Amino acid sequence: MAKAAKAAPKKAAVKKALTKSQLVGQLADKTGLSKKDVEKVLGAIVDSVTEQLGTKGPGKFVFPGLARMSLSRVAERKGGEVKKNPLNGKEYTTKPRAAFNKVNIRPIKAIKTTLA
């Protein structure tokens, strides 16, 4: 007797994040604005964020009703230090890393409680 073929388990549908054009279309439908107007508004928001978080700005930006963004400076790390990997016990030498700016984004409390 031949064995019955097992049915492959169904994969759950993978939810994907909105693309920029999908977001623009969705916002245009909800607000009644044209897609070009929505793109201009999003561009203006990006310009404001980069201006506020840039070198001449205060380093903080609050997007009302959504999130608070702040800029922090991560110091450089010098390399050449010999360390031991705790997982496998092998020794390795660290590599130097340049300093960089890091953007921290914290959602407002209403979003945290809604998603929790």
The reported pLDDT for the residue numbered 90 is 95
Look at residue 37 in the predicted model and tell me its pLDDT.
95
- For residue 1, what pLDDT is reported? 52
**Domain 59-116, CATH number (from 4.10.520.10, 3.30.1950.10, 3.40.80.10, 3.90.1150.10):** 4.10.520.10
pLDDT of the residue at 5: 59
Rounded to the nearest 10 degrees, what angle do helices 35-53 and 20-31 cross at? 110
- 10-residue block means of pLDDT along the chain (116 residues)? 60 82 94 94 94 92 93 93 94 95 93 86
In this prediction, residue 6 carries a pLDDT of 64
Query: Looking at residue 10, what is its pLDDT?
Result: 66
Per-domain residue ranges of the chain: 18-57, 59-116
The whole-number pLDDT of residue 9 equals: 64
